[in-house]
Structure 1
Amino acid sequence: MLDCEVIIVGGGPVGLFLAAELGQRGVSVELFDAKSGTSRHPAANANSARTMEHFRRIGIASKVRSLGLPADYAPDVAYFTSIAGDELARLHQPASRDAVEWAKGHAFTWPTPEPPHRCSQLYVEPVLLDAARSYPDCHVHFSSRVVDFTQNETSVTATVESDVGDTRTVTARYLIGCDGPRSFVRKALDIRLAGMADEKREFMGGQMDAVYFYAPDIYRVSKRAPAWQYWTFSPRQRALIIAVDGAGHFIMNVQLREGEVADEDSVRRRIAEAIGADIPFEVKSASTWTAGFALVAERFGAGRVFLAGDAAHLFTPTGGLGYNTGIDDAANLAWKLEAMIKGFAGDALGASYEAERRPAALRNTAFARGFADGIGHVRLPDAAFEASASGDAAREAIGDYLAFHATGEFVIPGVHLGTRYEASPLVEAEAGSPPPDAANLYLPTARAGHRAPHVWLADGTSLFDRFGPGFTLLCTKAASAAFDADALQRAARALPRLAVVRIDEAEVAQAYGAGYVLIRPDQHVAWRGDALDLAFEAAARRTVGLCANEAALVTQ
Structure 2
Amino acid sequence: MNTPRPYEETDVIIVGGGPVGLTLAHVLGARGIRCVLLEPRQTPDINSPRCKQLNPRSMEIFRTLGIAEDIRRHSGLPFGWSDRAVFATSLTGHLIERLDQVFALSDVPNSDLVEPAQWCGQDRVEEAFRASLQRRDSVTALWGWTLRDIEQDAHGVTVTATASDGSEKRIRGRYLAGADGSRSTVRRRLGIEMTGSGHKAQFVQAIFRAPGLSAAHSLGRAVQYWIVNERVSGMMGTLDTEDTWWAGFPGAPGDGSPERFRDAVATLIGTDYPVTILATDTWSPRMLVADHYRAGRCFLLGDAAHLNPPWGGFGANLGIGDAADLGWKLAAAVSGWAGPDLLDCYEAERRPMAHRAIAEAVRNMQVLSGDLVQPGLEDDGPAGDRTRATAAVKIRRSKTAEMYTLGFVLGARYCDSPLVRYDDGPAPGSTTSHYQPSTAPGGRLPHLWLGPGRSLFDELGQGFTLVELGSTAGPEWETAAQERGMPLTRLHLHRPDLAEIMGADFLLVRPDHHVAWRGSGHDLDVAELLDEVRGCARSSTSAGMPVTSVSPQAAPA
Q: Is TM more than 0.5 here?
A: yes
Q: Distance in 1 between matches of 2:340 and 2:135?
A: 28
Deviation at 1:289, TM superposition (A): 1.8
Q: Of the candidates 89, 97, 105, which is equivalent to residue 81 of structure 1?
A: 89
Alignment partner, residue 195 of structure 1: 196
* Residues 549, 439 of structure 1: alpha-carbon distance in 2 compared, 3 angstrom cutoff: farther
Q: Per-residue CA shift, 1:266-289, capped at 9, x if unaligned? A: 111111111012322122222222
* Residues 495, 376 of structure 1: alpha-carbon distance in 2 compared, 3 angstrom cutoff: farther
Q: Of the candidates 50, 57, 65, which is equivalent to residue 58 of structure 1?
A: 65
Q: Distance in 2 between matches of 1:457 and 1:495?
A: 29
Alignment partner, residue 19 of structure 1: 25
Alignment partner, residue 554 of structure 1: none
Q: Secondary structure at the match of 1:62?
A: helix
Alignment partner, residue 8 of structure 1: 14
Q: Secondary structure at the match of 2:289?
A: strand
* Residues 308, 93 of structure 1: alpha-carbon distance in 2 compared, 3 angstrom cutoff: same
State the AA in 1 paired with 2:275: F
Alignment partner, residue 553 of structure 1: none
**8 Å contact kept, 1:78–1:89:** yes
Alignment partner, residue 552 of structure 2: none
Q: Distance in 1 between matches of 2:236 and 2:535?
A: 46
Deviation at 1:175, TM superposition (A): 0.5
Deviation at 1:412, TM superposition (A): 0.9
Alignment partner, residue 41 of structure 2: 35
**8 Å contact kept, 2:20–2:320:** yes
Gaps of 5+ in 1: 201-205, 551-556
Alignment partner, residue 277 of structure 2: 283
Q: 1:536 aligned to 2:531? A: no
**8 Å contact kept, 2:80–2:106:** no
Alignment partner, residue 449 of structure 1: 442
* Residues 511, 360 of structure 1: alpha-carbon distance in 2 compared, 3 angstrom cutoff: farther
Q: Secondary structure at the match of 1:349?
A: coil
**8 Å contact kept, 1:318–1:409:** yes
Q: Of the candidates 376, 380, 393, which is equivalent to residue 387 of structure 1?
A: 380
Deviation at 1:228, TM superposition (A): 1.2
* Residues 334, 533 of structure 1: alpha-carbon distance in 2 compared, 3 angstrom cutoff: farther
* Residues 529, 235 of structure 1: alpha-carbon distance in 2 compared, 3 angstrom cutoff: same
Q: Of the candidates 251, 257, 260, which is equivalent to residue 254 of structure 2?
A: 260
Q: Distance in 1 between matches of 2:63 and 2:438?
A: 21
Alignment partner, residue 473 of structure 1: 466
Q: Distance in 2 between matches of 1:190 and 1:511?
A: 48
Q: 1:335 aligned to 2:328? A: yes
State the AA in 1 paired with 2:459: R
Q: Secondary structure at the match of 2:77?
A: coil
Q: Secondary structure at the match of 2:431?
A: coil
Q: Per-residue CA shift, 1:181-224, capped at 9, x if unaligned? A: 111111222212122311x5xxxxx2222111111332233122
Q: 1:224 aligned to 2:219? A: yes
Deviation at 1:506, TM superposition (A): 4.3
Range moving further from structure 2, 135-144 or 63-72: 63-72
Deviation at 1:248, TM superposition (A): 0.7
Range moving further from structure 2, 353-362 or 162-171: 162-171
**8 Å contact kept, 1:333–1:353:** yes
Q: Secondary structure at the match of 1:19?
A: helix
Q: Secondary structure at the match of 2:219?
A: coil
Q: Secondary structure at the match of 1:408?
A: helix
Alignment RMSD (CA, Å)? 2.2
Range moving further from structure 2, 306-315 or 221-230: 221-230
Alignment partner, residue 202 of structure 2: 207
Q: Distance in 2 between matches of 1:162 and 1:295?
A: 31
* Residues 11, 347 of structure 1: alpha-carbon distance in 2 compared, 3 angstrom cutoff: farther
Q: Distance in 2 between matches of 1:46 and 1:528?
A: 33
Q: Distance in 2 between matches of 1:332 and 1:226?
A: 36
State the AA in 2 paired with 1:297: A
**8 Å contact kept, 1:527–1:536:** no
Q: Distance in 2 between matches of 1:415 and 1:545?
A: 27
Q: Distance in 1 between matches of 2:218 and 2:494?
A: 53
Q: Secondary structure at the match of 1:284?
A: strand
State the AA in 1 paired with 2:367: G
Q: Of the candidates 392, 404, 408, which is equivalent to residue 399 of structure 1?
A: 392
Q: Distance in 1 between matches of 2:254 and 2:372?
A: 20
Deviation at 1:459, TM superposition (A): 5.2
Q: Distance in 1 between matches of 2:312 and 2:214?
A: 25
TM-score between the two structures when normalised by the length of structure 1: 0.91
**8 Å contact kept, 2:227–2:234:** yes
Range moving further from structure 2, 116-125 or 13-22: 116-125
Q: Of the candidates 299, 308, 311, which is equivalent to residue 292 of structure 2?
A: 299
**8 Å contact kept, 1:32–1:146:** yes
Q: Secondary structure at the match of 1:414?
A: helix
Q: 1:242 aligned to 2:218? A: no
Alignment partner, residue 203 of structure 1: none
Deviation at 1:379, TM superposition (A): 3.8
Q: Distance in 2 between matches of 1:95 and 1:426?
A: 31
Q: 1:496 aligned to 2:486? A: yes
Alignment partner, residue 46 of structure 1: 53
Range moving further from structure 2, 226-235 or 70-79: 70-79
Q: Distance in 2 between matches of 1:114 and 1:460?
A: 11
Q: Distance in 1 between matches of 2:205 and 2:81?
A: 23
* Residues 412, 178 of structure 1: alpha-carbon distance in 2 compared, 3 angstrom cutoff: same
Range moving further from structure 2, 261-270 or 318-327: 261-270
Alignment partner, residue 162 of structure 1: 163
Alignment partner, residue 98 of structure 2: 90
Range moving further from structure 2, 240-249 or 427-436: 427-436
Alignment partner, residue 553 of structure 2: none
Q: Secondary structure at the match of 2:383?
A: helix
* Residues 510, 454 of structure 1: alpha-carbon distance in 2 compared, 3 angstrom cutoff: farther
**Runs in 1 of length 4+ with deviation above 6 angstroms?**
none
Q: Secondary structure at the match of 1:77?
A: strand
* Residues 460, 325 of structure 1: alpha-carbon distance in 2 compared, 3 angstrom cutoff: same
Deviation at 1:80, TM superposition (A): 1.1
Q: Distance in 2 between matches of 1:542 and 1:377?
A: 51
Alignment partner, residue 485 of structure 1: 475
Q: Secondary structure at the match of 1:168?
A: strand
Aligned residues: 532
Q: Distance in 1 between matches of 2:283 and 2:102?
A: 31
* Residues 508, 118 of structure 1: alpha-carbon distance in 2 compared, 3 angstrom cutoff: farther
Deviation at 1:404, TM superposition (A): 3.6
Q: 1:520 aligned to 2:504? A: no
Q: Per-residue CA shift, 1:368-410, capped at 9, x if unaligned? A: 1111113367241222133353322111111222134343212
Q: Distance in 2 between matches of 1:50 and 1:374?
A: 26
Q: Distance in 1 between matches of 2:378 and 2:477?
A: 71
Q: Distance in 1 between matches of 2:97 and 2:117?
A: 21
Q: Distance in 2 between matches of 1:493 and 1:421?
A: 28
Range moving further from structure 2, 302-311 or 450-459: 450-459
**Structure with more of its chain in helix, by fraction:** 1
Q: Distance in 1 between matches of 2:450 and 2:20?
A: 31
Q: Distance in 1 between matches of 2:539 and 2:288?
A: 32
1:95-174 alignment, distance < 5 Å: 99-100=106-107, 102-104=108-110, 107=111, 111-174=112-175
Q: Distance in 2 between matches of 1:85 and 1:396?
A: 15
Q: Distance in 2 between matches of 1:182 and 1:260?
A: 26
Q: 1:269 aligned to 2:259? A: no
Identity of aligned residues (%): 33
Q: Distance in 2 between matches of 1:148 and 1:211?
A: 34
